[in-house]
Amino acid sequence: MRINETVSSRLKSFGAEVQHDVSLKEKTSLGIGGTTDEVLLRRYESIPDVMRLLADESIPHRFLGGGTNVLIADGKLPYVVLHLPASQPGMRVEGTAAFIDASADLGGMVTFCAKRDLGGMEGLIGVPGSVGGALRMNAGAYGTSIGPHVREIELYRAASGQLETVRGTDIRFDYRHTSFAPDDVMLRVKLELPPKPFKEILAGIKVCNEKRRASQPLNQKSAGCIFKNPPGGSAGRMIDELGLKGHRVGDAMVSDRHANFFVNAGSASCTDMLKLIDDVRERVRGAYGIELENEVIVWQN
Ligand code: EPU
């Protein structure tokens, strides 16, 4: 979708920058996605003005975080994409509290806090994506998730059209799910972290990195795990047991390293990846009677 010059210059007056015809292939870890205009939200305070303008002009929009857990349709997209600039995100520590911009890289945040002797998030080190995305889905790995550390979140709440600060205790953080509204936009978070010597945190980080390297296809284009694990079960193990490693539709392929990672092994389209997801879901349903739920967020037009 194209933003015209009049709207572009009004967006500019709110400190937002428009980029035309951006390929979302370049913005997602799967390397899949069509093209559209992108609005970079450089000034948080003016986000309500930007949203009001987009609503007044009937411009549909979606918010893209780190792009590491999303599968986006091919071709020209009928909406614009909003994005927080990721360069030089604000991060600071005060006592045992860390104040982090949502656009910060999750791993970068873990390291930043570790160097200041704040731990508790070692398991999150290799999880790709932004802090905002991690908050939205309560990202986790190796027994850690971000939710329990959250004290306060500053966000844009579409329901009120305003920036709001909510307490961590007012949000439900479940397994790969939270009670945020789908159109809430995370802006900043205050985390409360346990003090721990840097050396100890580093040792924990190393262990997690090694485990991850041993079991996940880190050098291939993926969105991490495609499905959530069903209660008490493992999607990866079931898909593996069905002999589906290496199974493909076009260039969309079940990783031969970890069966719950679906990789883009060349120039996979969204259509290929969706077919592969449906095919595997159906086979798991047939064999185990379990309906796997997507972990990856699908943006169909
Ligand atoms: N397994 C297989 N074959 C496979 C993959 C796994 O047999 O191809 C077996 C493993 O041997 C193990 C069990 O299944 O006995 C569980 O596998 P793993 O330890 O790799 O954990 P997982 O449940 O598949 C979860 C998260 C990962 C996270 C790891 C480590 C989900 C959907 N996945 O994977 O998170 O990194 O634990 O904590 O919860 C993600 O969410 O995108 C993600 C990658």
Note the pLDDT tens digit of each residue in 235-257: 999 999 999 999 999 999 999 99
- The proportion of the chain whose per-residue pLDDT surpasses 90, expressed as a percent, equals 98
Q: Which pLDDT value is given to residue 212? A: 97
The Cα 151–Cα 63 span in angstroms is: 23
Q: What is the pLDDT of residue 255?
A: 98
Q: Say which DSSP state 290 is in.
A: -
Whole-number Å distance, alpha carbon 264 to ligand 1 midpoint, is 19
Confidence of residue 301 (pLDDT cuts 50, 70, 90): confident
The predicted structure's pLDDT at residue 86: 86
Look at residue 274 and tell me whether its pLDDT is greater than 90.
yes
* Overall average pLDDT of the 37-65 stretch: 97
Name residues whose C-beta falls within 8 Å of residue 212's C-beta, 6 or more positions apart in sequence: 126, 141, 218
- On the question of pLDDT at 28 being above 90, the answer is yes
Taking a C-beta distance cutoff of 8 angstroms, is the pair 248, 265 a contact? Answer: yes
Q: What is the pLDDT of residues 100-110, one digit of tens each?
A: 999 999 999 99
Q: How far is CA 108 from the centre of its chain?
A: 15
Residue nearest to atom 29 of ligand 1 (CA): 141
Mutate to test the pocket of ligand 1, among 29, 210, 237 (most ligand atoms within 8 A of CB): 237
The residue-averaged pLDDT of 161-186 equals 97
Give the whole-angstrom CA distance, residue 44 versus residue 52. Answer: 14
CA 175 to centroid of ligand 1, rounded, Å: 14
pLDDT tens digit string along 111-134?
999 999 999 999 999 999 999 999
Task: Transcribe 174-206 into DSSP letters.
Answer: ETTEESS-TT-EEEEEEEE--B--HHHHHHHHH
Closest among 191, 267, 281, 272 to 227, alpha carbons compared: 281
Top-confidence residue, 86 or 232: 232
The pLDDT, as a whole number, for residue 240 is 98
Residues contacting ligand 1 via CB (< 6 Å): 141-142, 215, 224-225, 228-229, 234, 236-237, 240, 258-260, 295
Whether 57 shows a pLDDT value over 90: the answer reads yes
Averaged pLDDT score across all residues of the chain: 97
| 102 alpha carbon – ligand 1 mean position (Å) | 26
Strand-pair category, 177-178 with 173-174: antiparallel
| Residue minimizing CA distance to atom 40 of ligand 1 | 225
Neighbours of 210 (CB within 10 A): 11
Sheet holding 80-83, edge to edge: 16-23, 35-41, 80-83, 61-63
Q: What pLDDT is stored for residue 87 in this prediction?
A: 87
Asked if residue 33 lies in contact with residue 73, where contact means CB atoms within 8 angstroms, the answer is yes
Contacts of 65 (CB under 8 A, 6+ apart): 84, 102, 103, 129, 130, 132, 133, 136, 186
What is the distance between the alpha carbons of residues 31 and 10, in angstroms, rounded to a whole number? 31
Gap from CA of 205 to ligand 1 centroid (Å)? 18
Q: Kindly state the tokens that stand for 100.
A: 């982090």
Question: Cα of 118 to ligand 1 centre, how many Å?
Answer: 27
Hunting for tokens 């040792």 — which residue is that? 203
Instruction: Report which ligand 1 atom has the smallest distance to the Cα of 257.
Output: 8
212 burial (CB, 10 Å; 0-12 / 13-18 / 19+) is middle
How far apart are the CA of 228 and the centre of ligand 1, in A?
A: 10
Tell me the pTM: 0.97
Output the pLDDT for position 96: 98
